[in-house]
Amino acid sequence: MLDADRLSDFESLLWTLERDPLLASGFANITLLDRPADVDRMRRRMARAAALIPRLRRRILSDPANLAPPRWVDDPDFAIERHVRRAHLDPPGDRGQLIAAAMEFCRRPYDPDHPLWEFLVFDGLDDGTGAMVQRFHHTIADGVGMVRMSEQFIDLERHPSEPEPVAIPEPRPLPSAVGASREALGHALGRTIGSVQHGIAATAGLFSDPSRLGDGARRSIEATRALTAEAGAMGRRRSPLWTARSECRTLRLLRIPFDEVRRVAHEHGVTVNDVFVAGASGGAGRYHRLVGADVDALRMAMPVNTRADRSVGGNAFGLARILVPTDVDPSLRLGRVHEILGEARHHAGVGLVENLAGVANLLPASMLVRITRAQVASVDFASSNVRGAPFPVYLGGALVESNHPIGPLTGTAFNLTMLSYNGSLDMGLHIDEGAVEAPDLLARCIGLAYDELLAA
């Protein structure tokens, strides 16, 4: 299980950027159930998961003077009731009301004094079904890590025998201020100089050779210049319509049959992800044509999984920024997307994630936010593809009917994230309403693009 004391460089970057609402990286999932889930059973399962997965019971604590990445520390007041709560929809209790409540829940800032995750279990839907919204900050896990983490709280039948409870360990005491400062300074020197093995030795090395700090500063300046140059080289976003950004969010749910997508992928000699991306870009292009602003390509940001083990939680991915075609002909567009994504996979670890993460602790937070803003100013939309369970699963005694991710926008006009589940591809279309004036039209355009691909 994942149990690192400190955030990785990339996770530290995500936490630093949280101060800018447009760059916040929380993500969520809206799960539709055949009946309301049993809240008490979900609490027992999540309490057990928190005992096994330390990040579910820990909060983030910054170090003195930000000399080192923040650390994970036990929450002495951890209470499962704070993180798994019941919610009731008043009449009419329809789907639109559920989505509005879910989006309001996801918009709330995380409480930094407690672990960065929450479940909201809904009842009161007009058809007697249930729903659950789960939200996590990206520092806990990426999409792949989260799917693996979910194995701790999903069931394969409606009424299984409950696993043996696992006691949550006693909270570890925080280090003293002196000890924390010494350890942070040692960590910082070890990262920037690369010649010190232990914290105490690092402190001694600093005073014996102060010029080493100059090396770190020079590297910081060089990295800043490189990042700024890369941002300028990428240019501005390609859409003439989606130029504004706001904190207003909305969500649309889409679903297409997995077997049909797999058939099309096989017939065209491409991947399921190629079909997914070709539908997103085709729908975005159709939207532009319908409002009289034709574009031949848009820039898409796409995470690429780099996880090489079976680790639970955490983050392991590169980020590709790709110009994807919006051709009218679905077959031509699909073939071109296949070529472009094939090339992009070789460079997925280069660029925004690796470059920014490498200097995240060397740059002032305000500068880091400005540079990241410049980077995302070149991106029109984001997409992500996560593989889920190919069979039915249950949550709190309720059958999961569909599972729709809500991916982070991080400065883009929309994020279309897909999660495969039990023969379907369930999608969440997360839209910035300040950028996309007609969210329903965009959802229809993307749906029609998939219909065309499946009929191609």
Question: Across residues 161-183, what is the average pLDDT?
Answer: 77
Q: Strand, coil or helix: what is 344?
A: helix
User: What is the pLDDT at residue 12?
Assistant: 86
User: What is the pLDDT at residue 359?
Assistant: 59
How many residues belong to the chain?
456
What's the pLDDT band for 264 if we cut at 50, 70, 90?
very high
User: What is the pLDDT at residue 320?
Assistant: 85
The residues, ordered by sequence, that sit 6+ positions from 139 with a Cβ below 8 Å of its Cβ are 7, 11, 14, 15, 25, 55, 60, 116, 315
Question: Across residues 353-365, what is the average pLDDT?
Answer: 62
The percentage of residues in the chain with a pLDDT greater than 70, rounded to a whole number, is 81
Question: Across residues 160-185, what is the average pLDDT?
Answer: 76
What's the pLDDT band for 348 if we cut at 50, 70, 90?
very low
Instruction: Output the six-digit token pair for 97.
Output: 């009301």
User: pTM for the full model?
Assistant: 0.86
- Lowest mean pLDDT of 109-113, 198-202, 358-362, name the range: 198-202
How far is residue 372's CA from residue 410's CA, in Å, rounded to a whole number? 10
Q: Is pLDDT at 73 greater than 90 in this prediction?
A: yes
Q: Is pLDDT at 280 greater than 50 in this prediction?
A: yes
User: What is the pLDDT at residue 431?
Assistant: 98
The percentage of residues in the chain with a pLDDT greater than 90, rounded to a whole number, is 63
Largest CA distance in the chain: 72
Q: Which residue type is seen at 70?
A: P
Q: Is pLDDT at 201 greater than 50 in this prediction?
A: no
Instruction: Output the six-digit token pair for 366.
Output: 């305000």
Nearest to 79 by CA among 57, 54, 61: 57
Summary mean pLDDT of the chain: 85
CA 336 from centre of chain = 27
CA 170 from centre of chain = 30
* H or E element that contains 439: helix 439-455
Q: Is pLDDT at 445 greater than 60 in this prediction?
A: yes
How far is residue 45's CA from residue 277's CA, in Å, rounded to a whole number? 35
The residues, ordered by sequence, that sit 6+ positions from 8 with a Cβ below 8 Å of its Cβ are 69, 314, 315, 357
Strands (E), 50-144: 58-61, 71-74, 84-88, 117-123, 130-136
How far is residue 4's CA from residue 319's CA, in Å, rounded to a whole number? 23
Q: How far apart are the first and last CA of the chain?
A: 44
- CA torsion sign for 393, 397, 403, 406 is negative
Q: How far is CA 292 from CA 9, 363, 429, in A?
A: 43, 43, 23
How far is residue 351's CA from residue 373's CA, in Å, rounded to a whole number? 14
**Are the C-beta atoms of 392 and 422 separated by less than 8 Å?**
yes
Strands (E), 16-91: 27-33, 58-61, 71-74, 84-88
The residues, ordered by sequence, that sit 6+ positions from 144 with a Cβ below 8 Å of its Cβ are 305, 307, 316, 317, 386, 387
The residues, ordered by sequence, that sit 6+ positions from 142 with a Cβ below 8 Å of its Cβ are 303, 305, 314, 315, 316, 317
- CA torsion sign for 343, 349, 354, 356 is positive
Q: Regarding beta strands 424-432 and 414-421, do their DSSP bridges make them parallel or antiparallel, or are they unpaired? A: antiparallel
User: What is the pLDDT at residue 3?
Assistant: 44
Say if residue 62 is exposed, middle or buried (CB neighbours under 10 Å; 0-12, 13-18, 19+): middle
Q: Is pLDDT at 244 greater than 90 in this prediction?
A: yes
Q: Which residue has the higher pLDDT, 342 or 258?
A: 258
